[in-house]
Amino acid sequence: MTAKLCRVSNTPLKQVLDFGKQPLGNGFLEKKDFANEYFFPMSVGFSEVSMMFQLLEQPNPEIMFHDHYAFYSSTSGFMANHFKQFAEEVINSGYLSKTSPFVIELGCNDGIMLKNFASKGIQHLGIEPSLNVAKEANKHGVRTRSEFFSEELAETIVKEEGQIDAFLAANVMCHIPDILGVVKGIKKLLKPTGVVMFEDPYLGDVIAKTSYDQIYDEHVFLFSALSIKYLFGLCDMELIDLQPQKTHGGSMRYVLAHKGAYPVKNSVPEILAKEMAQGLDKLETFDKFRESVEQSKIDLVNLLKDLKAKGKKVVGYAATSKSTTVLNYCGIGPDLIEYICDTTPIKQGKLSPGMHIPVVPYETFAANSPDYAFLLAWNHAEEIMGKEKKYVESGGKWIIHVPKVQVL
Ligand code: DWN
């Protein structure tokens, strides 16, 4: 689906970055499927009206999210804790009604967050179009509907089950091209006292850290508070709180409600002012970002070629979706990275999207430590480096590329 116009404001988009042909971030495949591998022209645009940073073209949702979607949220212990805490914060927020609260999570994946509501007997519903992960959620007692969310679905839910107290989402809203349709649905779903609480990778961090790998097929938008204020303002809703998060290399949790329903916390004007100072409302900011991205590519390729020339064994650690952008944009294949180890069974034994680097079980890494491991899940650095102390003690070194290319 190509957008020459902003998906939210319908005004012309200005292209700010072009990554060329890219495969699906989670398009891990077998050799027999090489001939049919899917690629799309990946570039990003910006609208100075909505302040939405967005893909110009995105593959159809059915191509990306299906009954063999490769990402399971519960692969990280740190994230499991994060979502337990998120659920507790919602339950104790004072925003839920005292009697029979009802909570919906969009894109509940394998139930990593909603199971914390289910276990307390709180009425909940997960909306998860990828059937394989939704089934996993059911195993944890989470009730799901395996559909794409829309205004129509919101109307059906209101008719069948009534309005809700909280609409939650984590790392989901930035995946949805018809985001305005979703917000219109939310507006209908929410009780007058209801709230929206969602978090996504934060554009402010992406720009500050040159973490361009947050840009891939699934992430049609990278939001800022400015863009969220604009989007929800179109449906007479407003930001009432903003809570920066450490997750995914820097995320933002947005709290919104019907206009006037709650007082606006100080975090809102403070962070909006910070974003204006960072230039998240201006095209020029993204020109500088493009230069930093180009430099990062040069530095990374030079480092890997240098290590190869010295005969070093270099592997990738964690076959993340975001690594697909780095590897394909920089042209890094099995000649520079021997394999990528990953804990997700569905990815193991396959080849990485586009560059076709073998994905192997984690045990391969543990059994035969390389000289260098390129940490493709740099956002989980604390957790991974914490459990891989032995690798470093035995002389192994980490390579990371965010916020700059370096050997640790
Ligand atoms: O928005 C999205 C985020 C939340 O999750 C999605 N569109 C898809 C996915 O992105 P990702 O694949 O870049 O996510 P992560 O959480 O950075 O990486 C997960 C991958 O890393 C999995 O394949 C498992 C792997 N991993 C590992 O092998 N060992 C992860 C950890 C923490 C580990 O210790």
The domain ranges of the chain are 64-276, 285-407
- Contact between residue 45 and residue 342 where contact means Cβ atoms under 8 Å apart: no
- pLDDT tens digit sequence for 98-132: 999 999 999 999 999 999 999 999 999 999 988 88
Q: Which residues pair with 346 in a beta bridge?
A: none
CATH architecture designation of domain 64-276: 3-Layer(aba) Sandwich (3.40)
3-state DSSP: the chain helix, strand, coil percent, rounded to 5? 40, 25, 35
Q: Partners of 45 in the beta sheet?
A: 15, 54
Dist CA 73 CA 325 (whole Å): 20
Per-residue b/e over 358-385, b at no fewer than 16 CB within 10 Å? bbbbeebbeeebbebbbbbbbbbeeebe
64-276 and 285-407, same CATH topology: yes
Tokens, residue 351: 């080849």
Closest residue to atom 20 of ligand 1, CA basis = 320
The finding on whether 384 has its CB within 6 A of some atom of ligand 1 is: yes
Cα torsion angle, 140, 143, 145, 151, sign: negative
Nearest ligand 1 atom, CA 77:
32
**Ordered DSSP codes for 170-206:** ES-GGG-S-HHHHHHHHHHHEEEEEEEEEEEEBHHHH
Which of 22, 26, 55, 76 has most ligand 1 atoms within 8 Å of CB, for mutation?
76
Q: Probe ligand 1: pick from 252, 320, 327, max atoms within 8 Å of CB?
A: 320
Does any ligand 1 atom lie closer than 6 A to the CB of residue 71? yes
pLDDT band at 72; cut points 50, 70, 90 = confident
Fold for 285-407, please state it.
Answer: Rossmann fold (3.40.50)
List, in order, residues 6 or more apart from 258 with CB less than 8 Å away.
187, 190, 192, 194, 236, 237
First vs last Cα of the chain: how many Å apart? Answer: 40
Please write the tens of the pLDDT for every residue from 262-305. Answer: 999 999 999 999 999 999 999 999 999 999 999 999 999 999 99
State the DSSP code for 66: S
- What's the predicted TM-score (pTM) here? 0.95
pLDDT in tens, 222-239: 999 999 999 999 999 999
Is the pLDDT reported for residue 2 higher than 60?
A: no
Phi, psi of 148 (to 5 degrees): -85, 140
379 CB less than 6 Å from ligand 1?
yes
Tell me which amino acid residue 92 is: N
Residue 376 alpha carbon to ligand 1 centre in Å: 9
From 73, 79, 83, 321, mutation site for ligand 1 pocket: most ligand atoms within 8 A of C-beta:
321
Q: What angle do CA 293, 320, 307 make, to 5 degrees?
A: 60
Q: How remote is the CA of residue 386 from the centroid of ligand 1, in Å?
A: 17
196 phi, psi to nearest 5 deg = -110, 130
pLDDT of residue 223: 98
User: What average pLDDT does range 71-85 have in this prediction?
Assistant: 84
